[in-house]
Amino acid sequence: MKSFWIILFKTITVLTWFMVVTLYLTWLERKQSAVMQDRIGANRARVLGLRMFGLFQPFADAIKMIFKGDFAPRFGNRFLHALAPALTFFFIAVSVIAIPFGPDIRIGSAPVSLQVFDADVGLLFVLAMLALGVYGVILAGWASNNRFALLGGVRAAAQVVSYEAALGLSLVGLVLVFPSLRLSEIVAFQGGRLAGFLPRWGVFLQPLGFLLFFIAALAETKRVPFDMPEGESEIIGFFTEYGGMKFGLFMFSDFMELLIVACLLATLFFGGWQVPWLENGGFVFPWGGEWPWPGWLVAAARIVSFQIKVAFFCWLQVLLRWTYPRMRYDQLMNLGWKGLIPLGLLNIVVTALWAGR
């Protein structure tokens, strides 16, 4: 019973962090695009006369979405129309429980893992949940009984199938280097050193795999330059017949995917919560110096390190979204099937030869 309450507490804490950070990613996108375009950005919402750089804007947007009038097309399937955004939201939200946020800590005499679900196939679990999220997008296009919405759903299906293959191939080399699918063990494997001074992170052992994973993951999020399923200037998108909180769930799910991709990049290729040269007793530098730290400070530094890495990759994805133009659909397919997949196979062959030498 005690372990049940611990798991429940960790689940609520992780999901609260996930939702709050995702909420402020909407603020980050609006503010960053404003800075890049020499604008002020969203800053109208205020509390007690304070605007605080627009930090209250996400809550104002959420209130507006909740109270906005709901809409369901009479010519569509009303039940599936309402189910589609909930499916997408659920599968993406569940994936965060497998992410390790820090090392095991001790509360009293009991060790507590900063990970809700440490499964033997944790990596496959996250990828499966992200892949299942597209079912809501496809269902939304079909249940709306709208040609433009259906076209957006079909594009989403084709795009996910194309880039899921590239995404999986990019990780095979990583699994060959770190022989485990358990995310906590993959992070632990990255705690050593290369050549005596470089951290043993996945990005140094699998640079091509990192590049392929990053591009394929961007395509999985369906954001510019890979926003074919929701290109407003072309087909409007799978959410054509959605409004109010249903549309809000789809928009929120896009930012949740962005955050999950940032968590995976930090976990798989940048050491997760690992800090370069920071051991359990403090810093041990390559040139021989040491800097002892108490255990609680080491644990706090590792937790903060993971948050910083995730924040960086969230910022990078938003930057790319407002930098590059949308690709044509044929260019998107060619990149996946003729570019990423052959390079992924080449990376597997080279990694297998190197590991078996």
Output phi, psi for 356, to 5 deg: -100, 10
| Confidence band of 2 (pLDDT split at 50, 70, 90) | low
Is the pLDDT reported for residue 58 higher than 60? yes
Tokens of 112: 């507590």
Measured distance CA(220)–CA(130) in Å, rounded: 8
How many helices and strands, by DSSP H and E, does the chain display?
13, 7
Tokens of 335: 């990149």
In the chain, the amino acid numbered 38 is D
| Confidence band of 235 (pLDDT split at 50, 70, 90) | low
Please state whether the peptide bond connecting residue 292 to the residue before it is cis, i.e. omega within 30 degrees of 0: no
- Provide the 3-class DSSP secondary structure of residue 279: strand
Is residue 141 within 8 A of residue 149, CB to CB? The reply is yes
DSSP structural state of residue 175:
H
Tokens of 327: 């690709």
Q: What is the mean predicted confidence (pLDDT) over 69-80?
A: 86
| Confidence band of 69 (pLDDT split at 50, 70, 90) | confident
Tokens of 123: 């990596």
Per-residue pLDDT, 357: 65
Q: What is the mean predicted confidence (pLDDT) over 21-38?
A: 93
Tokens of 38: 């020499």
Is the pLDDT reported for residue 263 higher than 70? yes
